[in-house]
Structure 1
Amino acid sequence: MDALRGRSVLVTGGSRGLGLLLARQCKARGCAVTVAARDGDELDRAVGLLGRGTPGAVTGRVCDVRDAEAVRTLVAGTAREQGGLDVVLANAGVIQVGPAEAAGPDAFRDAMETMFFGALHTSLAALPYLRDGEGRGRLALIGSVGGLIPVPHLVPYSCAKSAVAALAEGLRTEHAALGVSVTEVHPGLMRTGSHLRAEFAGDARREYGWFATLAGLPLLSMDAERAAERIVAAVERRRPRLVLTPAARLGARAHGLAPVLVSRADAGVARLLPDAPANGADGHRRRTGAEIDAGRGRWQRALSALNERAAGRFNETAGQGARSTR
Structure 2
Amino acid sequence: GGEVMAEPCDVRCDSDVQRLAARVGDKWGDVEILLNVAGVIEVGPFDAMTMDDFQNSLDVNCWGALRMTRALLPGMRKRGWGRIGNVASLGGKRAVPHMLPYAVSKFALVGLSHGLRAELAQEGVLVTTICPSLMRTGSPRNAIFKGQHRKEYAWFCIGDSLPMASMDASLAAQQLLQAVQEGRREVYLRHPMNLGVLAQSYLPGLTDEALALAARVLPAMGGIGRDAARGYQSESAWAPSWLTSLTQAAAERYNQLRPREDLQPPTVS
| Same structural fold, with TM-score higher than 0.5 when normalized by the shorter chain | yes
Superposition map of 1:196-211 within 5 A: 196-211=141-156
Contact 1:188/1:245 (CA < 8 Å) preserved in 2? no
Q: Scaled by the length of structure 1, what TM-score is found?
A: 0.77
Structural mapping, 1:166-181, within 5 Å? 166-181=111-126
Match of 1:290 in 2: 232
Instruction: Describe the shift of the 1:275–1:163 C-alpha distance in structure 2 as closer, same or farther (beyond 3 A).
Output: same
Instruction: Give the equivalent residue in structure 2 for 1:73.
Output: 19
Tell me the residue number matched to 1:58.
Answer: 4
CA distance in 1, matches of 2:18, 2:151: 40
Residue pair 1:143, 1:186 contacting (<8 A) in 2 also: yes
Deviation, structure 1 residue 245: 4.5
Does structure 1 residue 303 correspond to structure 2 residue 243?
yes
For the residues of structure 1 that align with 2:202 and 2:107, how far apart are their CA atoms?
18
**Aligned residues of 1:212 and 1:304 also touching (Cα < 8 A):** yes
Confirm or deny: 8 A CA contact 1:116 1:164 kept in the other structure. yes
Residue 217 of structure 2 aligns to which amino acid in structure 1? L
Q: Which runs of 5+ in 1 are unaligned?
A: 1-54
1:253 corresponds to 2:193: no
**Hey, what's the Cα distance between the residues in 1 that align with 2:103 and 2:184?**
23
* Identity over aligned pairs, percent: 37
1:61-89 Cα shifts (integer Å, max 9, x gaps): 22210112321232233123212211111
Question: Quick one: which amino acid aligns to residue 155 of structure 1?
Answer: L
Q: CA RMSD in A?
A: 1.8
1:108 maps to 2:49 = no
In structure 2, what is the equivalent of residue 38 of structure 1? none
Q: Per the alignment, in what secondary structure is the counterpart of residue 187 of structure 2?
A: strand
- For residues 286 and 128 of structure 1, what CA distance do their matches in structure 2 show? 39
Deviates more, 1:151-160 or 1:78-87: 78-87
TM-superposed deviation, 1:322: 6.0
Q: Is the 8 A contact 1:290 1:320 kept in 2?
A: no
Distance 1:161 1:82 in 2: 31
Shift of 1:146: 0.5
Q: Is the 8 A contact 2:131 2:187 kept in 1?
A: yes
Aligned to 1:312: 252
Letter in 1 for 2:74: P
Match of 2:64 in 1: 118
2:222 corresponds to 1:222:
no
CA distance in 2, matches of 1:321, 1:144: 27
1:103·1:286 contact (CA, 8 Å) conserved in 2? no
Deviations 1:176-208 (A, max 9, x none): 111001111111012111111111000001001
- TM-score w.r.t. structure 2 length? 0.92
Q: State the match for 1:91 in structure 2.
A: 37
Q: How many residues align?
A: 263
Q: Would the aligned equivalents of 1:183 and 1:238 in 2 still touch at CA under 8 Å?
A: yes
Does the 8 A contact of 2:232 with 2:259 survive in 1?
A: no
CA distance in 2, matches of 1:118, 1:72: 12
Q: 2:183 aligns with which of 200, 217, 238?
A: 238
Q: Which amino acid aligns with 1:190?
A: M
- The CA deviation string for residues 159-192 of structure 1, in whole angstroms up to 9 with x for no partner, is 0001000011100010111100111111101211
Residues in 1 aligned to 2:174 and 2:204: alpha-carbon distance in whole angstroms: 31
Query: How far off its partner does 1:321 sit?
Result: 4.1
CA distance in 1: counterparts of 2:175 and 2:191, whole angstroms: 14
Letter in 2 for 1:296: A
Matched residues in 2 for 1:272 and 1:244: separation?
A: 28
Q: Which moved more, 1:76-85 or 1:222-231?
A: 76-85
